[in-house]
Amino acid sequence: MKTRVKELRQLKHKTQLQLALAVGCSQNSISRIELGETVPNGELLIKLSDYFNVSLDYMMCRDSQSQYSTNISLQPRVIEYAKKLQLLSSDNKETVYVVIDHLTSTQNREE
């Protein structure tokens, strides 16, 4: 059975170990899930779903919509750029993420 753990973990720029520590399991468990060698048990699946803020159906590839549950209202321009970001190559996406991380960390230090 396929899961989206690796995809979601990489989107959050986390290592397997960082994810394992966040959800209370071993790095080996995360590795085996990502390789398709095992399926997370119900408790771990819920923790992963909560951590990534996605539905269980999305986590288990039963739904193509992530359905992030958030109370944030996105401005139209943010949505426009999010759509454009999806069209970029992995390397270019990473560049955008680095720039955003740098700008937000610089801004946080200035405040």
CATH at residue 23: 1.10.260.40
pTM score > 0.75 for this model?
no
Task: Inform me whether the pLDDT recorded for 111 exceeds 70.
Answer: no
One domain for residues 52 and 81: no
One domain for residues 20 and 54: yes
Q: What is the DSSP letter of 2?
A: -
One domain for residues 53 and 22: yes
Residue 83 counted as domain residue: yes
Q: Supply the range of the domain harboring residue 104.
A: 76-110
One domain for residues 10 and 44: yes
Residue 10 counted as domain residue: yes
Domain count, the chain: 2
The residue with tokens 């937000």 is 104
Digit-coded pLDDT (tens) for 12-49: 899 999 999 999 999 999 999 999 999 899 999 999 98
| Three-state SS sequence of 21-77 | HHHCCCHHHHHHHHCCCCCCCHHHHHHHHHHHCCCHHHHCCCCCCCCCCCCCCCCHH
Residue 64 counted as domain residue: no
Residue 26 counted as domain residue: yes
Q: How far is CA 20 from CA 17, 45, 47, 85, 97, in A?
A: 5, 12, 10, 28, 23
